[in-house]
Structure 1
């Protein structure tokens, strides 16, 4: 009986103490200090090491060091590594890189790049127009309305996703890199973005005032037109003016040929249709086998919103494997910072052992990491290779990155199939590589999601 009473009192005391830990009172802090004293001697060596070293270097898992294997059974024919420098245009570089192999093969070139600056100009111009239209459409709502807050928080930016690339190519075509080369501010976009965002916010307030004063729609249209003229001039100052026509010749060709951006695109990609491609997502925080659309998540007013089919990871792998067997690379995106070893160019959940070093368990699954903002797609790269076992089951994959050839393994990143499960999110694949069941899903009416959802930050 006495033993039972003691246990009961201890339990009550523990509960009472727990109920008083809402605030970090002196008693609570002292109790936590006392709790740590029991571990402090054992932690001394770890504390000293962490005080003087990067935690990642201390957590390197020696079991995988030196075991990187960059050989693959199936690989697309790709040549050359691009460099997005200090910009958030990974999605654009990836989209353009998906087209490079065909033109390199057709023209027997040692290498080739499309002008990223050309598409960047039109991306910024179109995003400015879209922003002003969103402001006008929501001018009757208060500034703290969720849509207005979202728009004003980031009027424009150089991030994007697959549909951003598709919208631009369909409307503006393509030009070679030498026709509109990079500038300092296409390579280093922060100030261009910052100053243009400031001006667009100012324009937004003027348009809201005009609507509040019941100004005639024709007058408001004139205001917006003048604002866009100013934006165009601003972009020309930073990036140069995009060509409407140009002369160009390839290696080994003697004569120049006249092109427009659209005729150049159509000549070399006559059968290419962005509508032939679909984005597949692996987001276990949402229902699988459904089509989703992200409201306002586009760069061109009349363009396509972000649309995808949510599927288990194994379904993404099946489609990717089929595409790579045909030597067709895929636009893809992932949470690139997780378990990245830039020295050997690998992404492996076993690259770092933080749990053993810190004596701390990290147990969230992919769905929970998404819901709590711990993980999400942050970077787009071209998926170019896959290796398989003797049963044709994938064991590892490879990205072509856009951070220059000195990063990773000569510009490439190899990742394990396990890492694919945990941190790969999206691929864009030709519909011909989809199963009949997945193709039928494309007929669904999309479930519309808000652009401020944690999964839908632009990739950069």
Structure 2
């Protein structure tokens, strides 16, 4: 009796839904009863299909996409590999850009000084990055104070007042201005390892101050008065950062040691003098960022508005090139024992447990009945793919003809992730999902150096290539 009643009710609901749809679906393009019936009939009712529904309802789709023919292992041997010691862990934060940049610099320090394992403080650089980004947002609000509320740049600013993600301009701008310190001098905290709540509090503080600045401007306050309001907000941000990350040191004593633990040097430093002593290079002018964006013309230089980490810093400028030319410069750098800042769409086709990035890791067509066939340019244009994570490019394997077959990056997800803290990428995956590479200009081609002299094409802050490196 209960079953019959349920059936009658179900039929009644279906009939009511069809009647309702018939009454409402009068506009061209709407879902009509005919379309709905077609959708229902497209679903198989076989026992095996029902079993699949049941299994996915319990455990989700992910395991059903795994390709049994995927590479179970890529040999961790490379014809060219830059040696390094120690794996970092960004934990629950988007600071991959900072970890990557500092990993490049610490590898150079260890090699040059013949030191033991060494780490820079990510927490120190992060403190200044967040303060500088807060100022960048507030100055953006002041710059656009006369624009309407629905102006696209005003909307973009309020949508993106702050993040813990970023890219190489953060390394060049923040480190050059504030210097660096060893990890022991300003260690990680609970909030640097998990930035979410602190970031939310600073974001709300900035948005509130941004609204107040626009209201004050509308009432006729001068630029000097608006900057006084800005400084008051920066004091609030500084307090949040100090509470959560600790206050950055102004001077400290430090002993650098070799692999045996023996002292190499002992001295008292400021963060800036430590930078000069142990980094000692011009990060702003010595490097060039290369991009592979096939949705735009190659052999042009581009600049993205507001894509920087500090108001007095530089917008991110890059040279757009075919992948083969970028690979050539990467190989030249690795052959000279120099690792590089590298970023990609890391989550795509990655077997995270094994640390293998390969195009045949997953089989979508067998379950869904269709495959994903967009090329790289189409994925970029549709916002389906972009740079999401920065890592340190440290190795390449070349075949007998000198062509790359696989690549290796040092990651910042801890020693237990992937291949002892690394990811190995097939060359095909590298082509499909690599976006940015930062190389020393001495490895750049003459063509790239000439392109750097040209006036960049200006892109807005909401361009797809703005996407920060931040998972």
The TM-score normalised by the length of structure 2 is 0.90
Q: Which residue of 1 aligns with 2:90?
A: 84
Question: Where does 1:24-423 land on structure 2 (aligned, <5 Å)?
Answer: 24-37=31-44, 40=46, 43-44=49-50, 46-251=52-257, 252-253=262-263, 256-423=266-433
RMSD: 1.8
Q: Which residue of 2 aligns with 1:449?
A: 459
Pick which of 62-71 and 229-238 moved more.
Answer: 62-71
On the 8 A contact 2:73/2:356 being kept in 1, the answer is no
On the 8 A contact 1:46/1:357 being kept in 2, the answer is no
- Superposed CA deviations along residues 273-309 of structure 1, whole A, max 9, x for unmatched, are 4311111000111111100000011111111111100
On the 8 A contact 1:405/1:411 being kept in 2, the answer is yes
Distance 1:21 1:44 in 2: 34
State the Cα distance separating 1:270 from its structure 2 match. Answer: 2.7
Q: Which residue of 1 aligns with 2:11?
A: none
Distance 2:390 2:264 in 1: 37
The size of the alignment, in residue pairs, is 441
State the Cα distance separating 1:54 from its structure 2 match. Answer: 4.2
Secondary structure of the structure 2 residue equivalent to 1:100: helix
On the 8 A contact 1:68/1:344 being kept in 2, the answer is no
Secondary structure of the structure 2 residue equivalent to 1:373: coil
Distance 2:224 2:386 in 1: 43
State the Cα distance separating 1:213 from its structure 2 match. Answer: 1.4
Residues 362, 218 of structure 1: alpha-carbon distance in 2 compared, 3 angstrom cutoff? closer
State the Cα distance separating 1:219 from its structure 2 match. Answer: 2.5
Residues 214, 26 of structure 1: alpha-carbon distance in 2 compared, 3 angstrom cutoff? same
The TM-score normalised by the length of structure 1 is 0.92
Residues 430, 189 of structure 1: alpha-carbon distance in 2 compared, 3 angstrom cutoff? same
Unaligned 5+ runs, structure 2? 1-25
Distance 2:437 2:46 in 1: 47
Distance 1:135 1:292 in 2: 24
Secondary structure of the structure 2 residue equivalent to 1:113: coil
- Superposed CA deviations along residues 239-264 of structure 1, whole A, max 9, x for unmatched, are 11111111111222287411011110
Unaligned 5+ runs, structure 1? 1-18
On the 8 A contact 1:21/1:28 being kept in 2, the answer is no
Distance 1:82 1:437 in 2: 36
Q: Which residue of 1 aligns with 2:4?
A: none
Distance 1:238 1:271 in 2: 31
Secondary structure of the structure 2 residue equivalent to 1:208: helix
